[in-house]
């Protein structure tokens, strides 16, 4: 027996809307040509690849319509120097925070590593840190493996990489603490962990400047975005320098200062085979 919904799918005209209200949606149906939204007023439309189920009030600032792409990681492609200073509201009574997963932190934010690596077991549940809309959710060949990117209501985006399974879809609204994936080791990974990043208009921010990881809460309800907080400026205060002596090599310095050759080269904008001039100063941490 053909239901009224199937009849509508056959005969009803396609309705095109820029924004959708979740309260107006009665059901969804998966078809060969994509997901169909069924509305309570008996109209329907294909889901498409634009932000969905967002009321005009929720996107009054245009955050979920500006530079919204589902098929590439970086959406803005702007220079960090062009970003204006602003104060981000991280949480309020409607939008809380939830740590994606709690585990041993074994790698942090550096010149060559833009996020936090949190140890987990394969299959552990990874959750959304803040409420928002899923902008990207698929396998990434650049090293992230199964990657999820969520854009939040303040313009921040959070990245969750190396998942074994993605359990949400692009353009889906998610709430802080909602399960989004199962942890794993896909992509360039030496073992199961969650690679977690925070970015503002594609520019990475050290998540430990925002999150009190040990206590699983935010450091503050707001976060001031200035040019000083962006990588790599925020590490200048704690910089360590070394004066080059006879016999010094980049490999020797990496071992001495418990870092690696790639990191030293990135900090000093030199190549691995660059010659070190005796008497010159090089940054090592």
Question: Are 91 and 227 part of one and the same domain?
Answer: yes
Question: Are 191 and 266 part of one and the same domain?
Answer: no
Question: Quick check: is 68 in a domain?
Answer: no
Cα 141 to Cα 2, 134, 187, 218, distances in angstroms: 43, 19, 7, 32
Question: Quick check: is 269 in a domain?
Answer: yes
Question: Quick check: is 65 in a domain?
Answer: no
Question: Are 28 and 150 part of one and the same domain?
Answer: no
CATH number of the domain that residue 133 is part of = 2.70.70.10
Question: Are 200 and 252 part of one and the same domain?
Answer: no
On the CB side of 149, CA atoms within 13 Å amount to 25
Question: Quick check: is 54 in a domain?
Answer: no
Quote the CA–CA distance of 260 and 285 in Å, as a whole number: 10
Question: Quick check: is 75 in a domain?
Answer: no
Tens-digit pLDDT profile for residues 6-34: 444 433 433 333 345 555 667 777 777 66
Question: Quick check: is 277 in a domain?
Answer: yes
pTM of the model as a whole: 0.74
Question: Quick check: is 72 in a domain?
Answer: no
The answer to whether 57 and 48 have CB atoms below 8 angstroms apart is no
Average pLDDT over every residue of 206-232: 89
Phi, psi of 226 (to 5 degrees): -135, 170
Question: Are 164 and 140 part of one and the same domain?
Answer: yes
Quote the CA–CA distance of 60 and 148 in Å, as a whole number: 24
Phi, psi of 181 (to 5 degrees): -165, 170
| Tally of domains in the chain | 3
Least confident range of 72-86, 134-148, 207-221: 72-86
Q: What percent of the chain has pLDDT over 90?
A: 54
* Peptide linkage before 232 cis (omega within 30 of 0): yes
Quote the CA–CA distance of 59 and 175 in Å, as a whole number: 16
Question: Are 92 and 211 part of one and the same domain?
Answer: yes
Query: Is residue 84 over pLDDT 50?
Result: yes
Question: Are 155 and 213 part of one and the same domain?
Answer: yes
Question: Are 172 and 222 part of one and the same domain?
Answer: yes
Residue linked to tokens 């932000």: 51
CATH number of the domain that residue 256 is part of = 3.10.350.10
- How many residues does this entry show for the chain? 285
What domain range includes position 246?
241-283
Question: Are 128 and 14 part of one and the same domain?
Answer: no
pLDDT confidence tier of residue 98, bands split at 50, 70 and 90: very high
Average pLDDT over every residue of 271-285: 89
Alpha helices in 100-164 (DSSP H): none
| Alpha-carbon 242 to chain mean position | 35
**Neighbour count for residue 212 (Cβ, 10 Å):** 12
Question: Quick check: is 163 in a domain?
Answer: yes
Question: Are 109 and 30 part of one and the same domain?
Answer: no
Average pLDDT over every residue of 116-124: 96
Average pLDDT over every residue of 255-262: 87
Query: Is residue 140 over pLDDT 50?
Result: yes
Which tops the pLDDT comparison, 212 or 269?
Answer: 212
Least confident range of 22-36, 151-165, 168-182: 22-36
**Predicted pLDDT of residue 47:** 63
Question: Are 178 and 148 part of one and the same domain?
Answer: yes
Question: Are 163 and 219 part of one and the same domain?
Answer: yes
The answer to whether 218 and 210 have CB atoms below 8 angstroms apart is yes
Least confident range of 58-62, 99-103, 197-201, 281-285: 58-62
């Amino acid at each position: 027996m053909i239901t009224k919904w199937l009849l509508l799918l056959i005969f009803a005209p396609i309705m095109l809307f820029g924004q959708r209200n979740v309260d107006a949606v009665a059901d969804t149906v998966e078809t060969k040509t994509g997901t169909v939204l069924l509305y309570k007023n008996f109209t329907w439309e294909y889901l498409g690849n634009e932000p969905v189920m967002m009321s005009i009030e929720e996107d009054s600032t245009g955050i979920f319509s500006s530079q919204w792409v589902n098929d590439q990681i970086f959406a803005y492609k702007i220079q960090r120097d062009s970003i204006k200073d602003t104060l981000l509201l991280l949480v309020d009574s409607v939008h809380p925070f939830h740590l994606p997963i709690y585990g041993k932190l074994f790698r942090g934010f550096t010149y060559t590593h833009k996020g936090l690596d949190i140890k987990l077991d394969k299959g552990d549940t990874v959750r959304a840190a803040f409420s928002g809309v899923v902008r990207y959710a698929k396998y990434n060949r650049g090293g992230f493996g199964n990657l999820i990117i969520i854009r939040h209501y303040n313009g921040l985006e959070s990245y969750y990489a190396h998942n074994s399974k993605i359990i949400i879809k692009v353009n889906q609204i998610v709430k802080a603490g909602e399960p989004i994936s199962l942890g794993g080791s896909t992509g360039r990974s030496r073992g199961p962990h969650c690679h977690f990043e925070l970015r503002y208009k594609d520019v990475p921010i050290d998540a430990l400047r925002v999150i009190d990881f040990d206590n699983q809460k935010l450091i503050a309800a707001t976060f001031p975005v200035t040019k000083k907080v962006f990588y790599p400026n925020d590490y200048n205060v704690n910089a360590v320098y070394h004066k080059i002596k006879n016999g010094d090599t980049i490999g020797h310095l990496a071992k001495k200062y418990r870092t690696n050759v790639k990191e030293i080269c990135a900090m000093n904008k030199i190549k691995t085979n660059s010659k070190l001039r005796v008497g010159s100063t090089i940054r090592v941490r």
